[in-house]
């Protein structure tokens, strides 16, 4: 179909230039949520290097690329579906679709195409268990979380958090072709980390979510209940973060880092629970939100360092 | 009068702005690079998977 025919068809369908032309490559990159992708790459890398199987570097690189593109594709599908509420929230209104840089149908086609490519590539390069887990993760994030849970229940991010927790399990499956207790421990860390992380954000962005009609916990159950649940999940997170060391999968270095970092996170969560008055309440939530990112990064960095750097050099902690 | 005729009304329909033309050119380059990268990746993966079997098979 020539450009002229496409334009003629587009006019008949009532489309404008923005519907037919599309944005710049950077806009498509933004659809993939690069910051989320970087976390996915990092946690999937941890699963891949922690597995007790040697993976050829080229195969490992291809697997990571497929996992990260799959995660990005689910982000594009999320932005396609959420374009109405993204246009309302200050945090998201500059995204490519609400700002008019990319047409919704282009984002949908982009997300679906990349999803299919990513799953197929991971299956061909590694194994179909890993590809199946990646396909399930994309489905879980785009359909179960985005289309169903997000606008329905304040427990949206608790259940939806599973989508973000799958990457290390996919990395492990890509290397071993199986699911094991170790990969479930890595899954659990991200799964139980997600509620305090997102609810800390929701506490100081509750007005934004409220305007968009997204039932986040602070809007539905109130700030006090949210602060309590943040603290309770942070308590639960301590043994979960220590579990890789307790089952003998990680060494002492991980155990020490996990214990110290988990206690810092717990102390910050306690401050969020207690500081309910004045300017301190938002400050405590912001501090917890920022530290939670560092906490997760530290844990997975130690895993990557222990298995990917120290173990090959003959050091065992 | 056909669609390619310079006087066609379709020609006066959606006209790309310089910014849109630039975006389209950039997209074309990005797609080309992505396809080239994918070819290189599949080639490298094939070699990595076959490994020494290729050399043994040739002998």
- ipTM (interface pTM): 0.77
The closest alpha carbon to A183, from A98, A229, A243, A253, belongs to: A243
How many angstroms separate the CA atoms of A251 and A317, rounded? 5
**Residue A58 C-alpha, separation from nearest chain B C-alpha, in angstroms:** 6
A58 occurs within a structural domain: yes
Q: Is residue A18 over pLDDT 70?
A: no
Number of neighbours of residue A16 by Cβ within 10 angstroms: 11
Q: Is residue A114 over pLDDT 60?
A: yes
**Residue A308 C-alpha, separation from nearest chain B C-alpha, in angstroms:** 20
How many angstroms separate the CA atoms of A249 and A254, rounded? 10
Q: Do A62 and B27 touch (CB under 8 A)?
A: no
How many angstroms separate the CA atoms of B48 and A141, rounded? 32
Q: Are residues A158 and A209 in the same domain?
A: no
Sign of CA dihedral B47, A124, A73, A301: negative
Is A48:A60 a contact under the CB 8 Å cutoff?
A: yes
pLDDT at A50: 94
Q: Are residues A104 and A223 in the same domain?
A: no
The closest alpha carbon to A45, from A159, A167, A137, A165, belongs to: A167
Report the Cα B1 to chain-centroid distance in Å: 33
Say whether residue A28 is in contact with chain B using an 8 A CB cutoff.
Answer: yes
Say whether residue A100 is in contact with chain B using an 8 A CB cutoff.
Answer: no
Q: Do B48 and A17 touch (CB under 8 A)?
A: no
Q: Are residues A203 and A317 in the same domain?
A: yes
pLDDT at A6: 42
Question: Which structural domain, as residue segments, surrounds residue A24?
Answer: 17-178
pLDDT at A4: 42
Q: Is residue A79 over pLDDT 80?
A: yes
Q: Is residue A81 over pLDDT 50?
A: yes
Q: Do A8 and B24 touch (CB under 8 A)?
A: no
Is A49:B35 a contact under the CB 8 Å cutoff?
A: no
How many angstroms separate the CA atoms of A103 and A8, rounded? 18
Q: Is residue A313 over pLDDT 90?
A: no
Q: Are residues A255 and A313 in the same domain?
A: yes
Query: Where among A161, A178, A195 does a domain terminate?
Result: A178
B10 vs A8, A25, A65: nearest CB: A8
pLDDT at A289: 95
Q: Do B41 and A24 touch (CB under 8 A)?
A: no
A56 vs B15, B41, B48: nearest CB: B48
Give the number of domains in chain A: 2
Q: Are residues A191 and A120 in the same domain?
A: no
Say whether residue A25 is in contact with chain B using an 8 A CB cutoff.
Answer: yes
The closest alpha carbon to A38, from A303, A289, A301, belongs to: A301
Number of neighbours of residue A164 by Cβ within 10 angstroms: 25
Residues B3-59 have pLDDT tens digits of 455 555 555 677 888 888 898 999 999 999 999 999 999 999 999 988 766 666 655
Q: Is residue A294 over pLDDT 60?
A: yes
**Residue B57 C-alpha, separation from nearest chain A C-alpha, in angstroms:** 21
CATH code for position A167? 1.10.357.140
A10 confidence band (pLDDT: 50, 70, 90): very low
Q: Do B44 and A25 touch (CB under 8 A)?
A: no
Q: Are residues A163 and A196 in the same domain?
A: no
Residues A31-70 have pLDDT tens digits of 999 999 999 999 999 999 999 999 999 999 999 999 999 9
Cα angle for residues A174, A179, A183 (degrees, 5° grid):
85
Residue of A nearest to B8 (CA): A4
Q: CB-based contacts of A250: which residues, under 8 Å, 6+ apart?
A: A244, A258, A302, A303, A306
A120 confidence band (pLDDT: 50, 70, 90): very high
**Residue A94 C-alpha, separation from nearest chain B C-alpha, in angstroms:** 18
Is A271:A219 a contact under the CB 8 Å cutoff?
A: no
CB contacts < 8 A, A to B, total: 56
Q: Are residues A277 and A299 in the same domain?
A: yes
The more confidently predicted of residues B5 and A73 is A73
Residue of A nearest to B44 (CA): A58
pLDDT at A208: 82
Say whether residue A16 is in contact with chain B using an 8 A CB cutoff.
Answer: yes
Q: Are residues A211 and A230 in the same domain?
A: yes
Average pLDDT of chain A is 90
- Two structure tokens written together for A76: 């594009």
Say whether residue A62 is in contact with chain B using an 8 A CB cutoff.
Answer: yes
A301 occurs within a structural domain: yes
- Two structure tokens written together for A178: 């199986």
A2 occurs within a structural domain: no
A4 occurs within a structural domain: no
């Amino acid at each position: 179909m020539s450009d002229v025919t496409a334009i003629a068809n587009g006019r008949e369908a009532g489309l404008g230039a923005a519907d037919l032309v599309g944005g710049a490559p950077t806009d498509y990159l933004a659809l993939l949520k690069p910051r989320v992708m970087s976390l996915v790459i990092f946690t999937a890398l941890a699963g891949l290097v922690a597995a007790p199987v040697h993976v050829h570097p080229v195969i490992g690189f291809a697997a990571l690329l497929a996992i990260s593109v799959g995660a990005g594709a689910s982000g594009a599908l999320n932005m396609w579906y959420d374009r109405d509420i993204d246009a309302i929230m200050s945090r998201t209104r500059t995204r490519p679709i609400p700002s008019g840089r990319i047409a919704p149908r282009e984002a949908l086609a982009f997300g679906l195409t990349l999803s299919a490519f990513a799953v197929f590539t991971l299956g061909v390069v590694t194994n179909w268990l890993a590809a199946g887990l990646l396909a399930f993760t994309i489905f879980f994030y785009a359909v179960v979380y985005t289309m169903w849970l997000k606008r329905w229940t304040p427990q949206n991010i608790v259940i939806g958090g599973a989508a973000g927790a799958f990457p290390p399990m996919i990395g492990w499956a890509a290397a071993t072709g199986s699911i094991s207790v170790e990969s479930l421990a890595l899954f659990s860390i991200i799964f139980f980390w997600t509620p305090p992380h997102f609810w800390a954000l929701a506490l100081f962005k509750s007005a934004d979510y409220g305007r968009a009609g997204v039932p986040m916990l602070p809007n539905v159950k109130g700030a006090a209940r949210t602060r309590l649940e943040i603290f309770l999940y942070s308590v639960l997170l301590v043994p979960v973060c220590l579990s890789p060391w307790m089952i003998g999968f990680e060494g002492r270095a991980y155990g020490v880092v996990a214990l110290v970092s988990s206690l810092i996170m717990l102390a910050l969560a306690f401050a969020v629970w207690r500081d309910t008055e004045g300017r301190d309440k938002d400050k405590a939530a912001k501090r917890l939100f920022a530290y939670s990112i560092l906490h997760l990064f530290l844990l997975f960095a130690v895993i990557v360092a222990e298995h990917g750097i120290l173990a090959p050099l003959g050091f065992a902690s | 009068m056909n669609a390619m005729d310079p006087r066609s009304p379709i020609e006066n329909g959606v006209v790309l702005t310089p910014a849109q033309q630039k975006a389209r050119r950039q997209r074309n380059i990005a797609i080309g690079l992505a396809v080239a990268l994918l070819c290189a990746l599949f080639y490298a993966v094939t070699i990595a998977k076959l490994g020494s079997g290729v050399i043994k098979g040739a002998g």
